[in-house]
Structure 1
């Protein structure tokens, strides 16, 4: 229990040193990781069912060569592709926003430093250090969390493209167009 209390105190001190922007970075990071976990769960649980249902729908068709059949195939692939890419643009946007929030923290921290300089001059380094902490901690936090999400944004985008190609390959079409 003592270790947990020490951890809470360290957490509180970190956030008080980082300023208010650090709380916003935390909220965006939590949202980012909720979406990343949702994508992992989708690919592990929901996607195999969606894939099987799509292939079953296509394989149940007797007509696989007409113009209409080609449009049905394109629609089925497109519908699954949309589900594969769900939240990927949001993940990539949050990854881009996090460093900007870190920069916002830098600016607000530097404003604190300039306020101390205006009121006390250079004679109080401890007061200036608080502003410097409020400037550097959000920058670091924004960059680190963005880097952690960057990998997964690219991973899910590539996986969706690969799965879409595999689906298209598995949905065989018969010959050219017939006008049936």
Structure 2
């Protein structure tokens, strides 16, 4: 366990302070993704069943009022299902931007070393180059992993809304 913490600390020192911010952002993003996934797989199914049962228990399902109640039920379920998805998408978009900020701060360090040493000493510039590349990589990895998850969440919300609309059909008078 101590070896793992030391390797994480070494990686963080190699990537600079921006890497900590990126790591925190990715951690929060994945907490939100996991919370939404748990909602989809556990809570949503129960809530959807309760809404369908409530609709089926209605005696009258063909009037204009019933249509408004149906739309309200669908909207509530859809809103609960898509809560947090825009924030997750924003965090996904923020990951590469923070990686770019790490690149810029790393390159500033490289230029500082070049100004102090007066030449292009590769050994003295290596630290700045790693601080420039590692945050970029971390930001891109975080963004890619988050893109797939946020796309799945958005697609699932859309699919579940369509499924609920089918389940809560109006009974038309002939």
User: 2: distance between equivalents of 1:112 and 1:135?
Assistant: 9
Count of aligned pairs between the two proteins: 174
2:100 counterpart residue number: 103
Which aligned pairs between 1:93-132 and structure 2 lie closer than 5 A? 93-122=90-119, 124-132=121-129
1:37-52 matched pairs, under 5 angstroms? 37-52=34-49
Shift of 1:123: 5.1
CA distance in 1, matches of 2:49, 2:92: 32
Query: Unpaired runs of 5+ in structure 2?
Result: none
Note the C-alpha offset of 1:151: 0.5
Indicate whether 1:61 and 2:58 are aligned.
yes
Matching residue within 12, 17, 33 for 2:14: 17
Residues 176 and 121 from structure 1, CA distance in 2 versus in 1: closer, same or farther, beyond 3 angstroms?
A: farther
| Correspondence 1:173 to 2:167 | no
The 2-side partners of 1:117 and 1:154 are apart by 44
Return the match for 1:144 from 141, 146, 161.
141
| Unmatched 5+ stretches in structure 1 | none
- TM-score, normalised to structure 1, is 0.93
Q: Tell me how large the CA RMSD over aligned residues is.
A: 1.4
* Secondary structure at 2:59 match in 1: coil
**1:25-65 Cα distance to aligned partner (Å, 9 max, x none):** 00100001101110111012110111011112211111111
Task: Report the Cα distance in structure 2 between the residues aligned to 1:136 and 1:16, rounded to whole angstroms.
Answer: 13
| Structure 2 counterparts to residues 73-84 of structure 1, below 5 A | 73-84=70-81
Q: TM-score, normalised by structure 2?
A: 0.96
Which digits, 9 at most, give the CA deviation of each residue in 1:133-168, with x for residues without a partner?
100000000001110111010001001100100000
Q: Per-residue deviation at 1:8?
A: 2.1
